Structure 1
Amino acid sequence: MRLFTDRGYDAVTVADVAEAVGVSAMTVFRHFPTKEDLVLIDQPARLIAERVAASSATHPLVRRVGGALVEAATALTGGDGDDRDEPAANELFLLDCLRLMVSTPALRARHLDSQYTLQQTIVDALGDDATDPDAAFRAQAATSACLAAMHTALTRWAEDNGQTKLPELIAQALAAAFGDDAVATGRRD
Structure 2
Amino acid sequence: MTDGTPNLRELNKRRTREAISHAATRLFIERGFDRTTIAEVAVAAGVAKMTVTNHFPRKEDLVLDLHEEIVAGLARTVAGRAPGESALAALRRECLAAIDRHDAALGFSGPAFARTVTESPALVARLREIHEQSEDALGAALAEATDSPPADLTARLAAGLLAAIHRTLFAEVFRRTLAGEEHGSTADAIRPAAVRAFDQLEGALGGYAVRPAA
When normalised by structure 2's length, the TM-score is 0.63
Asked if the contact 1:95/1:158 (under 8 Å) is kept, the reply is yes
Asked if the contact 1:71/1:167 (under 8 Å) is kept, the reply is no
Match of residue 116, structure 2, among 87, 100, 118: 100
1:71 maps to what in 2? 97
Identity of aligned residues (%): 27
Match of residue 119, structure 1, among 135, 139, 151: 135
1:149 maps to what in 2? 168
Q: 1:92 to 1:63 in 2, by over 3 A?
A: closer
Structure 1 unaligned spans of 5+: 79-90, 183-189
Q: Which amino acid aligns with 2:167?
A: A
Aligned length: 170
What is the aligned-residue RMSD (CA, Å)?
3.3
CA-to-aligned-CA distance 1:51-93 (integer Å, 9 cap, x gap): 3322247555444333333434556749xxxxxxxxxxxx986
Q: Distance in 2 between matches of 1:56 and 1:167?
A: 26
Q: Distance in 2 between matches of 1:76 and 1:44?
A: 14
Q: Which amino acid aligns with 2:146?
A: D
Asked if residue 43 in structure 1 is aligned to residue 69 in structure 2, the reply is yes
Q: Which amino acid aligns with 1:175?
A: V
Secondary structure of 2:148's partner?
A: coil
**Residue 114 of structure 1: CA displacement?**
1.1
Asked if residue 109 in structure 1 is aligned to residue 163 in structure 2, the reply is no
Q: Which moved more, 1:58-67 or 1:99-108?
A: 58-67
Q: 1:48 to 1:30 in 2, by over 3 A?
A: same
2:148 maps to what in 1? 130
Structure 2 unaligned spans of 5+: 1-24, 203-214
1:54 maps to what in 2? 80
**Residue 38 of structure 1: CA displacement?**
0.2
2:35 maps to what in 1? 11
Q: Which amino acid aligns with 1:133?
A: D
